Chain A
Amino acid sequence: MEFCILLLILLPFIISVLQAAVRSDSSRRILTFAGSGLIIANALALAICWYLGGQGSVVLPAEGGILSAGVIPYIGYAMLGIELLLAGLVVWLSIKYRRFLIALLSLAQTALMCWLELSGKIHEEAGMIRLDRLTLLMCMIVSVVGGLICIYALGYMKDYHHHHTEVKDRRPFFFSMLYVFLGAMFGLVLSGSLVWIYFFWEITSVVSFLLIGYTKEERAIGNSFRALWMNLLGGAGFAGAIAYSALRLNTVNLQTILTRPSRTIGMVIFLLAFAALTKSAQLPFSKWLLGAMVAPTPTSALLHSATMVKAGVYLLLRLSPAMAGQAAGFMVQIIGGLTFFIASMLAITHSDGKRVLAWSTISNLGLITACAGVGTAETVWAGAILLIFHAVSKALLFQTVGAVEHAIGSRNIEDMHGLFRRQPGLASALLIGIAGMFLAPFGMLIAKWEALTAFLNAGGISVLLVILVAFGSATTMIYWTKWLIKLLAVPAGTKQQKDTTSSAQWLSLGCHIGLMLLLCASYPFYSAWFVTPMLGEIGFEGVSQLLSLSDRVVMILMLAAIFVIPAVARVFAKKVRVDRSSLYMSGINEGDHRHYEDSYGQPKKMYLSNWYLADFFGEQKFYMPSAWAAVVVTVFCFILAFGGAF
């Protein structure tokens, strides 16, 4: 088991070094397939070892293990060295592109970490690595979804450079960074020591910065620096949390910190939660994730689904028992609820597919964040289920939109009019992904209900969350339904087009669809067998199932019916006579149902558009006020935490 854990962290880094060295398409193909396959196999092996080994949590270094306590300080120095290198890289790039404040931000936190490390303030040799159910869950998500996205990237990037000849082909670098990202994610979730988590945390920040700036266009560079400064700010918060806990609590082990009395750790929890909010792109730090969509699709898919933003909510779920009733918990739930509502509202106003997905990611993360902030067993249960379903369906959606973009030359939702006729395969993948995001029987909706009930049971300020969720659910439904409308429209005379998506891309899409259906069908089982015990490990007691059994049976029947009804109706519909001439266009239908006669007697093409209500829900109107509201909440809670700390 120990071998599996260590290999899981190291393997992606090894593959990434190899990827950087490989130049030809065919060898990259072999390396990626083998690499992702090995990572997934490794994670599965780890899960099996864990299952056979008694399903308990594992803490390393253990007596007589491969990773002995004596090596730990050297690893610490190596990490510090790499952090210095990363800081050097950031400073160099910041100065090159004249972003001096960012350089300063990076230097400040690296200096703080160096001082802590070298002056001997941090002296810990136990519990550096910790494996429990939450970790295992994250490892499975990162390995399966992340690994498949790397495979998808094979086909996509080849096509990408075929379409975008103006962008320099730096695929070895790109693939190398993808695997570094996966490695950093494994490291992050497996670490038990704050110093180690911080190390991997910073790697993900820097790597996402490099990936967003891949094309080196002006917009890409601007957006990558925005992502960098926001994440570095979070990193600074993280470094502050380490300094505080090293100096005042004499430990940097997260698990130990969480067992301390809540009034002594308020400040640490607050700073860590703040770092997590930046990473999960919550208000007021939402814009970096939106900017990240300028990068090639595999990057967005990876950032939005399995990695990066999930690192933030992972940390929040870990902290959740300590957040209940604390200043940090107040901040996290209010900001999460606000983000859920505002982001879903802004998603209505956009027609760019990736932008809608980006706002939807931010919105859903807001809900998970709010769940963690309330910090009761039920809310954390809902948060974990949301996290699983969101990872898979969002990865599916991003990858499909990328494939659609290459197939029809646009990722605008308006251009997907009648896609179900033109590209049935890709449109079906989109339909499943969209259904997964807001319709039952997929888990997002069920988890949303559980969250709603749990907020009500938690009471107090959480009732405010319920109101935000009620509004946010309505807006969420609207932007997805609008997308469905476009996909399912059947304009007269549309012909099926050739699907140019590569086999590697379809492999990943197919696996995601399968995974989606599997997760949906087996949801009551892993909920009871895996997620509920997980809550006990995180630190909750007496976990009950909320929805009663009969309700659940009815629910599953009803939800299955939602797919059976249209199927049965389809059979009956075969008998119905279709008369195409009946399309009503005030008597000026040109006869082909696509054109009408204008006032000059000339045929004019009819164009049907969705409503985007940009004047009503506009980003200009709502984003800044809500961002400032979030700033006020953050500052207010900081004062509360600060007051409690000293």
Chain B
Amino acid sequence: MIYAVRILCMLAYVLAAPLLGGFLSGLDRKLTARMQGRVGPTVLQPFYDVYKLFQKQVLVVSRYQFMMVASFLVMVVGTGALFFGGFDLLLIFFVLTTACIFFVLAATVTNSPYAELGAQRELIQMLSYEPMILLTAVGFYMANGSFKGMDAFSADLPAIVKLPGVFIGLLFVLTIKLRKSPFDLSTSHHAHQELVKGVTTEFSGSVFAMVELSHWYENIFLLGLVALFFVSKSWWSIPLAIVAALFVWFLEIIIDNTSARVKWNQMLTSAWGVTAILGGGNLLVLELYRLFF
């Protein structure tokens, strides 16, 4: 029974995540446009864009590019599928990290100056968010006694009660992961950024479409991770979790539209600071509580 549900969830993710992700991306553009006093494109615009990209002739600088981006896409889908299947969070984050390494390599095999710069910035972004992501997994272990995502559904209380610091820390690095301003250093959806198109400079046609697609998959996975903080064994926790995830998503759009891009060292120090103080502090307090009460 439980296996059937898990497999269904994984299938649902693989099939529905691009639709949902694309839709959220369209909504994001609409909301952003309204915040900037523009009308904005239709909500379905991202689907049209990606469809058109897939129709274009594939031009790559190096064959390895295609290989790396395809691996990136498959691994991102794998990450999300494992997550919605309720597997070990450490394993999931590891697959995500490996996927990101493939993304960086896809940019650098081209030997292109702009892609290379973007890739180095992408590495700094990974360096910034990676510790917090790992501590999030650790936090769930300390809160639920297991690294498995599905065990959050048998907890008495949602993890957020025990992990407020970890949650805020995760929100901080989520801005990096969602490629939102002020931390959209390696590539940005805003036209005002200066490095051509950063890490994605040399991608075109279907290769670029695959990057967009994996971005959608990744966003849904990340919102799922946010939702995981709110689930418990009661049924009402599930709608609550969805509302919370959507609220966080809206919050990220506001942050995106109200902040200017920072320098990499500001991003790194602030992300590490938040990770150490809020994330690390939360875990230490939790451990002290366990030892003395």
Interface residues of A (CB under 8 A from B): 418, 439-440, 445, 449, 452-453, 456, 459-460, 463-464, 466-467, 469-471, 473-475, 477-478, 481-482, 484-485, 488-492, 547, 551, 554-555, 558, 561-562, 565-566, 569-570, 572-574, 576-580, 582-586, 593, 606, 608, 610-611, 613, 616
Contact = CB atoms under 8 A, between A and B. Distances in A.
Nearest to B105: A488
29 contacts: A456-B141, A467-B279, A467-B283, A470-B130, A470-B132, A470-B134, A473-B130, A477-B130, A478-B127, A485-B105, A490-B109, A551-B91, A554-B82, A554-B87, A554-B88, A555-B91, A558-B95, A561-B78, A562-B95, A569-B70, A573-B66, A573-B67, A574-B63, A577-B58, A580-B61, A583-B61, A584-B201, A608-B116, A613-B124
Contacts of B192: none
A488 B64 contact: yes
Contacts, number: 180
Given A467-B283, A579-B59, 17 more contacts: A453-B90, A453-B147, A456-B141, A459-B287, A467-B284, A473-B134, A481-B101, A482-B123, A485-B105, A488-B108, A490-B64, A490-B109, A554-B82, A566-B68, A584-B112, A610-B120, A616-B268
A491 to B, nearest CB: 4
A212 B142 CA distance: 46
A495 to B, nearest CB: 15
Contacts of A469: 134
Contacts of A449: 90, 94
Given A558-B78, A558-B95, A578 B63 contact: yes
Interface-centre pick from A470, A547, A578 (highest chain B CB count, 10 A): A470
Contacts of B75: 562, 565
A576 B203 CA distance: 13
Majority-rule SS of B interface residues: helix
B61 A578 contact: yes
Contact of A573 (B57, B64, B283): B64
A611 B105 contact: no
Contact of B126 (A460, A463, A478, A584): A478
A460 B101 contact: no
A583 B202 contact: yes
B63 to A, nearest CB: 5
B111 A492 contact: yes
Given A463-B283, A562-B98, A608-B116, A570 B134 contact: no
Contacts of B13: none
Interface size class on chain B is 35 or more
A474 B120 contact: no
Contacts of B119: 485
Nearest to A593: B111
Q: Which one of B110, B204, B284 has the greatest number of beta carbons of chain A within 10 Å?
A: B110
Contact of B59 (A474, A565, A572, A582): A582
A551 B280 CA distance: 27
A453 B108 CA distance: 34
Interface in B77-111: 78, 82, 87-88, 90-91, 94-95, 97-98, 101-102, 104-105, 108-111
A566 B114 contact: no
Contacts of B112: 583-585
B185 to A, nearest CB: 12
A566 B73 CA distance: 11
The 5 closest A-B pairs by CB, nearest first: A474-B130, A569-B70, A470-B134, A573-B66, A569-B67
A339 B202 CA distance: 39
Contacts of B78: 558, 561
A460 B291 contact: yes
Given A459-B290, A566-B71, A576 B138 contact: no
Contact of B90 (A452, A477, A484, A613): A452
Given A453-B147, A474-B131, A584-B196, A578 B60 contact: yes
B60 A467 contact: no
B142 A484 contact: no
Looking at B66, B132, B202, which has the most chain A CB atoms within 10 Å of its CB? B66
A424 B71 CA distance: 21
Given A470-B135, A477-B97, A490 B127 contact: no
Contacts of A467: 135, 276, 279-280, 283-284
Nearest to A476: B130
Contact of A466 (B57, B283, B290, B291): B283
B36 interface: no
B224 interface: no
B135 A608 contact: no
Contacts of B123: 478, 481-482, 611
